[in-house]
Chains A and B, each alone.
Chain A
Amino acid sequence: MLILTAIAVVRMHSLFAVAMLSGVFSLLSALLFVTLDAVDVAFTEAAVGAGISTVLVLGTLALTSRFEKPTKRSPIIPLFVVFVTGAALIYGTLDMPNFGSPDAPAQTHVGPDYLERSVEEIDIPNVVTAILASYRGYDTLGETAVVFTAGIGVLLLISGFSRRRRRDDDDDEESEET
């Protein structure tokens, strides 16, 4: 299903359909995450990937045109690059331990420590939350700062520019220097 949707996204020329299909793609990968027992990730994927990004892509679409421009370049070189990258990635997975194997680095490094200690130290049933907010609190603070910076960046790029242009044309030269 995932592959079919991806092929459809590539083949389509109507950008509206592409936006909708990428939402479908996100929803399908959320289902894949549920199958892998990563419910928190699936939750995020469904909310962010299928929900917000589709809306934002549609919002961008309203600002541009509805159909993709036809390209004249041959697709052979991009296709070659994609195949080589894909083959390298698949070759890389050959060395990885099987899914759920007890010897995997994910299960032997700090994972068991967190699982054992979080019950008495933090006393929260959802270990993901315990690790995210307490043991890895610094990282989550950093992530929040990233979200913050991204928001500020988008605001500066989109709304700040139009407001400045509307206010006064004479100010433009001064503000561009700063």
Chain B
Amino acid sequence: MAGKFVGKQTVTFSSTPSVLETFSIVGPMEGRGPWGSEFDTVIDDEKYGEKTWEKAERKLVIEAVSQLLAKSKLQPSDIDFLLAGDLLNQITSANFAAAAFPISFFGLYGACSTIAEAMILAAMLVDGDYGEKVIAAASSHNKSVERQYRFPIELGVQRPPTAQWTVTGCGSILLGRGDKSPKVTFATVGKVVDMGAKDSNDMGSAMAPAAADTLTAHFRDLAKNPSDYDLIITGDLGKVGSSILAELMEQAGFPLAGNHIDCGASIYAEDEDVHAGGSGCAALAVGFGSHFYPKMLRGEVKKVLLAGTGALHSPLSTQQNETIPCICHAVAIEVI
């Protein structure tokens, strides 16, 4: 194992890259939620003035990256790498949006874990001295995802209580060298876990074992406990997945100490018809960027563990009755 490895799955960063800035843009429904006033931009038209849902999502990504640059008073030439991904086939939202920026680009697919994957790789790039400033971004759009994975938007279907509602939005995060806190201290890179779940209307119970696997590895590798963090923030396990995660962590001997919060389960107002909560790449990206990151800047929260979970199925694999392989990547971010 290389020198920066701790235990079996966790890496450390000798230069502890900083989370320098964040930017979030979300749709109207997310704007009505409890974090609504904290997002940088809330759009009131889900189509964002575009002709297709796919174009709308792409515009969200372009906006999130260019506004992040503006907020950080940087030019595209100041950025060494852009790492981005989304849920659409061949990650077209990220790929097409990247064409708008003269920045070296890595397109990533980790389903809803993409922002965690991007942050880990960004931190590694910075720590490995390959770049000074790197942008990580992830997007999802309720309508473009609904079209691709489920049914036509206006089709009358009744969703089961386990179904989740894809978050419309894009979160971009600037990582780089510097003294600014908070900093990325550790990352645990997940393994693909397949517990045989097949119901694509129940992502929570498909992804919970992957989350438990990575979190357990993280605590084992670092000889830590969940209570060592102020918050353990998962992306989109939703209500069902969160409740399963609690039981799995209890079984693994690392009971969550009441400090677990799931972005998907928290992003929408109680009276929205979203069943088990929100999902999608944007859930963790905008949740961390606009709700938790400012809390860290204000010193209200000092140590968080972000855990992005992703269901790695495709509409085709679901039709072929395959199981849903899942992954979870964890990133520790601390105010030092």
Q: Do A and B come from one complex?
A: no
Interface residues of B (CB under 8 A from A): none
